[in-house]
Amino acid sequence: MNEATLSIKIFSRILKISAVLICLIFSYDTVQVNSQAGFLPGPIQKGICYVTWDKTRFSSEYSDESLKKLSTIGVEYISVCVTHYQEEYNSTKITKTDRTPSLKSTQHVINKSHDLGLKVMLKPHIDLLHNKNGSFWRADIGFSKEADWEKWFENYQKLILKYAKMAEKTKVELFCIGTELSFTTQKNSYWLNLIEKIRKIYSGKILYAANWDNFQNIQFWEQLDYIGIDAYFPLTYKPDPTVEDLLTGWKKWKAKLNQLRKNVDKPIIFTEIGYASTSHAPQTPWKGGIYGNANPEIQAKCYEAFFKAVWNEPWMAGAYWWKWDTNVHAGGLHNRQFTPQNKPAEKIIAKHYKQM
Per residue in 242-257, pLDDT (tens digit) is 999 999 999 999 999 9
Residue 238 has pLDDT above 90, yes or no: yes
Tell me how far CA of residue 314 lies from CA of 68, 212, 257, in angstroms: 30, 19, 11
> Taking the complete model, does pTM exceed 0.85, yes or no?
yes
User: Which is more confident, 176 or 131?
Assistant: 176
Quick one: average pLDDT of 263-268?
96
Dihedral over alpha carbons 272, 278, 279, 280 (to 10 degrees): -50
CA angle 271, 198, 261 (to 5 degrees): 40
- CB under 8 Å to 349, separation ≥6 — which residues? 48, 73, 74, 75, 303, 321, 340
Radius of gyration (Cα) for the chain, nearest Å? 24
pLDDT band at 290 (very low <50, low <70, confident <90, very high): confident
pLDDT at 271: 98
Quick one: average pLDDT of 132-146?
90
CA angle 120, 124, 130 (to 5 degrees): 150
pLDDT at 356: 66
